[in-house]
Amino acid sequence: MNRYQPPLTLTTRMLALVAEISEQVGRLSERREAELTPQLRRGNRIRTIQASLAIENNTLSLEQVTAVLDGKRVLGLPREIQEVRNAFTTYEAMPTFRPDSRAHLLQAHGTLMFGLLDDAGEFRSGGVGIYRGDRLVHMAPPASRVATLVDSLLQWAGSTELHPLIASCVFHYEFEFIHPFADGNGRMGRLWQTLLLSQWRPVLAWLPVETVIREQQDAYYAALSRADQLGEATHFVEFMLGALQQALLDAGSTDDHSAGTLSNQVASLLRCLSEHPAMKAAELMEGLGISHRATFRENYLNPALAQGLVEMTNPDSPRSPAQKYRISQKGADWVGSSAG
């Protein structure tokens, strides 16, 4: 019998978030799980990977990550390109992993860190401290205890009666506390939380919650630190539930979950591009009447690129001042069908 019980205080805010998220997931599953086309699944997965790696200081943009996974040549650091390929392979293998299996955890880490770490797929053999700048914020348990702690955590994850939403967040925190690998712990913690969530509701395998964490990165680390100070996961669980809720709100605010029903923003972008051979970002913004570049990229350009509806004229240099964008054949097909 597993006696391991991660310290946690259930709060009214936590329970309220679980109720709200469960309702949101129910609506998302009913309306959209069957409509999640391969195109959209891939787009969401690319957003997940780009954001999760960006949290770990990978500098590749969404456009560059998309280009790497499309097999195109990208001007970037070889390590960062390898991180993208590894992450995509690992996430694609996620349905084959059992969340309570040490062998599967090590296999996932081996794939995620292939060619990046000498001991990929193995627990760390030395001590490790987590720093923010020059400040030590967490001293992980000694290497001699890692295997036992991980086994207890995995067994707990497979048997706990906590709601899966709460249990997945607790696992995420406890995993980061143990810090079982020499590198890749943040990526693995987020991956395994997604795995646990997908076991509860399959549609959550495709929810890019990492994009919310990336936008709130300072708060993410602050929540981890606060949980460490208090000696329990409560503060981090509340943060992660809030991030999940925000990701679901973002998913519910757009209609781009099928190839035939794009968000109004992406549809507008495609119609604008369909009237020109290629356009610079500034020209597109002017044509769409948008002045805020971040809004344009987040709501118009990046989703269209991730879904393969728009392509760069110069994918080797995504940040080139001369970069232009053109409608892809897939995008042109959509414009043609919507006009009919």
192, two tokens = 């395994």
188 is in an annotated binding site: yes
Q: How many CB atoms lie within 10 A of CB 293?
A: 12
The question of whether 179 is a catalytic residue gets the answer: yes
Contacts of 38 (CB under 8 A, 6+ apart): none
Q: CA 273, 275, 280: angle at the middle one, nearest 5? A: 40
Q: Which of 104, 172, 179, 257 is catalytic?
A: 179
185 assigned to a ligand binding site: yes
Single out the residue of 5, 8, 22 nearest to residue 237, CA to CA.
Answer: 8
Q: CA 129 to CA 179: how far, in whole Å?
A: 9
Closest to 262 measured CA to CA, from 338, 340, 327, 336 = 338
Residue 278: closest CA among 328, 317, 338, 336: 328
Does 183 belong to an annotated binding site?
yes
189 known member of a binding site: yes
Is 187 annotated in a binding site? The answer is yes
Q: How far are the Cα atoms of 100, 107, 117, 169, 171 from residue 104, in angstroms, in the given order?
A: 8, 5, 18, 19, 16
Best CA proximity match to 41, nearest among 88, 109, 108: 88
C-beta of residue 24 within 8 angstroms of C-beta of residue 248: yes
Structure tokens given for 267 = 């549809």
* 240 annotated to a ligand binding site: no
Torsion of CA 89, 95, 97, 98, to 10 degrees: 160
User: Which residue ranges are tagged as binding site?
Assistant: 183-190, 220-221
User: Which residue ranges are tagged as binding site for ATP?
Assistant: 183-190, 220-221
Point out the residues that are catalytic: 179
